[in-house]
Structure 1
Amino acid sequence: MSTPQAPIGSGFGAASTAEEVAAGHDLTGKVAIVTGGYAGLGLETARVLAAAGAKVIVPARNIEKARAAGEIVPGLKLDYMDLMDPDSIDDFADRFLEDGEPLHFLINNAAVMANPLTRDSRGYESQFSTNHLGHFQLTARLWPALVKAEGARVVVVSSRGHARSGVDFDDPMFDNREYQPYIAYGQSKTANALFAVSLDALGAREGVRAFSLHPGGIVNTDLVRHQSREYLQASGYVDADGNPVIDPENNKKTIAQGAATTVWCAVSNELEGMGGVYCENCDIAKAVPADSEELLGVRPWATDPELAERLWQMSERLTGLTPS
């Protein structure tokens, strides 16, 4: 039976921090991989998991930048990987699997947002390639280690940006339609949520549960590097001096608050036996109609099992891989 897409009353909320939701959890002996874990939300996620005792591995495209994160998080293990390069994903996965370790937490956090049209070596649009396909391939290649954990969680960082667009199955790579950066971002974030739906359906019998989430609006990270200051001011996320506006009840969060839902999805005891749902504010999000004008909530095209299965089949074709 699938998990209902409805809040469960976790006791945490929009202002909760990653440290608060991890309090009391002993992750000694657990292994976590956090993509993008050397900056912003990923770094805070890696730091909190490590502080709770987990061994944390961060695959990074920019190793020099990642070394600075290693100074912030003692014991953080760094390795090279580029989510737009299938060979580098395979190489990273091979190195991890060689050690025979189980993988208890796979945090698919890394992302790009609203960048100019860029394509990977296969011709795939970069936001779909990085945010979805790269993580699909990584998860597929690490599947044996996830199963070996006998109770793993895959946490996929989506976004309320999914409300901008579903997946265009006829032209996902913008080969024939005009490229619009935010539509491409929204498509990739919908893909993140749908991936968790299908992955959980596949993995539940193997003890692998999957969740997607919206972390909140956080503007002091590298993710917003393609947004102008004027755009951010107009959106209300920065003030006239360019400083972040912090108002968690209205989706404007600090990094510590933004990482909280990721950590909650990874460690919460309340989520035992659950999976395949989209979360926000350290709880399962409510489902809202397609035409909803609400700030939060998950739209139907991001949780539909039939669309999730269609995306899964397309992702298999595009990557040549499936978790097994």
Structure 2
Amino acid sequence: MFTPQSPIASGFSAASIPDEVMRHIDLRGKYAIVTGGHSGIGLETVRALRAAGARVMAPARDVAQARAALTNMPDVMVQPLDLMDPDSINRFADAVLASTDSVDILLNNAGIMAPPLSRDARGYESQFSTNHLGHFQLTLRLWQALAAGGNARVVTLSSLGHRYSPVCFEDIHYTQRPYDPWRAYGQSKTANALFAVHLDKLGRESGIRAFAVHPGRVPTTRLSRFMTPEEKAAVAQAAQVGPDFVPSPLKTLAQGASTSLWAATSPQLAGMGGVYCADCDISLLVADDSPDVSGVRRWAIDPRQAERLWALSLELIGE
């Protein structure tokens, strides 16, 4: 399988912080959208983009909560957006398109992790619906604005958790098999990575480049709100979380935001895209059965699986 999935020796690392990766980055006149930009990694991402001069939109389900979190950044725009509600996505996209001609950075940052089984109004499993389909629909609705500037980047947060499961096309929504919250999470994170692969293929002629990123293990985020106290304690001890052992080091919120910011802005990635990144570099490709806790599995960047997922996703959102 041909892939550009190979590290480029960026000079950064897992310990890099936004001040390092954004040094000399000038985003004045640029428009950026960060879903989930009012908390955790998203808030750190918004802070760095704003500091570099970008106009930033941070859509949220709870607008009052988001505005309260962004009190010290009153120029950051907030609009309602529920990624599990297709109508909400369309309303948000319409509002963006009415207010700007172009979107330069779209950071698909929001997500949920390992909740009890729930479904959206269409019957779709909540993690696949929120983490993948919502961002898929949002990106397509903003395509016109992304293409307008001729040099846009779409960065979607995947995760090392992609190793828990490929996309199970035969039963994506757990209607035939027992629900496993961690494997459902892994499936959605694999979908995020595959989305970047095919989006980059389709978008490059319009100047749209796409990346998937693993931010690292950051325990102090709302992503862990569905975890039991025992699972949270395990994270703090770098012990078993999910279906297998993941002894990778923990990151601060700022370190967790750095790879997203690097993928969204770095001139080192000019002319590149469709790759999975971690620790502020392109990740190594590893075998699907690799015990390595770093790198990306082949199933998450397979262009044939990416094309298949794209076609199915269009069908699922009614396009």
What TM-score do you get using the length of structure 2 for normalisation? 0.95
Worse-matched range after superposition: 227-236 or 16-25 = 227-236
The one of 255, 263, 269 aligned to 2:267: 269
Distance 2:238 2:165 in 1: 25
Structure 2 residue identity aligned to 1:269: P
- 2:131: which partner in 1? 131
Matched, 1:253 2:264: no
Deviation string 1:256-276 (CA, Å, 9 cap, x unpaired) is 000000000001000000000
- 1:290: which partner in 2? 288
Question: Counterparts in 2 of 1:33-72, with a 5 A limit?
Answer: 33-72=33-72
Give structure 1 stretches of 5+ with no counterpart.
240-248
Report how many aligned residue pairs link the two structures: 311
Secondary structure in 1 aligned to 2:168? Answer: coil
Shift of 1:142: 0.2
Structure 2 residue identity aligned to 1:224: S
Structure 2 residue identity aligned to 1:120: D
- 2:311: which partner in 1? 313
- 2:150: which partner in 1? 150
Structure 2 residue identity aligned to 1:190: T
Distance 1:107 1:156 in 2: 6
Secondary structure in 1 aligned to 2:226? Answer: coil
Structure 2 residue identity aligned to 1:302: A
Deviation string 1:162-187 (CA, Å, 9 cap, x unpaired) is 00000000110001110000000000
What TM-score do you get using the length of structure 1 for normalisation? 0.94
Structure 1 residue identity aligned to 2:192: N
Secondary structure in 1 aligned to 2:94? Answer: helix
Shift of 1:197: 0.2
Matched, 1:15 2:15: yes
Secondary structure in 2 aligned to 1:259? Answer: helix
Structure 1 residue identity aligned to 2:44: E
- 1:231: which partner in 2? 231
Distance 2:278 2:210 in 1: 14
Distance 1:100 1:252 in 2: 38
Give structure 2 stretches of 5+ with no counterpart.
240-246
Secondary structure in 1 aligned to 2:233? Answer: helix
Contact conserved, 2:119 with 2:125, CA < 8 A, in 1? Answer: yes
Shift of 1:64: 1.6
In percent, how many aligned pairs have the same letter? Answer: 55
Structure 1 residues 238 and 68, CA gap change in structure 2 (3 angstroms): farther
Shift of 1:30: 0.2
Distance 1:283 1:143 in 2: 26
Distance 2:127 2:135 in 1: 12
- 2:97: which partner in 1? 97
Distance 2:172 2:164 in 1: 14
Structure 1 residue identity aligned to 2:309: L
Deviation string 1:102-130 (CA, Å, 9 cap, x unpaired) is 10000000000000001001010000000
Would you identify which runs of 4 or more consecutive aligned residues in structure 1 move more than 6 Å? none
Shift of 1:4: 1.3
Shift of 1:232: 2.7
Distance 2:252 2:233 in 1: 17
Secondary structure in 2 aligned to 1:295? Answer: coil
Secondary structure in 2 aligned to 1:71? Answer: coil
Distance 1:289 1:3 in 2: 14
Matched, 1:77 2:77: yes
- 1:242: which partner in 2? none
Distance 1:278 1:208 in 2: 16
Distance 1:69 1:273 in 2: 36
Deviation string 1:7-46 (CA, Å, 9 cap, x unpaired) is 0000000000122211111100000000000000011101
Shift of 1:3: 6.0
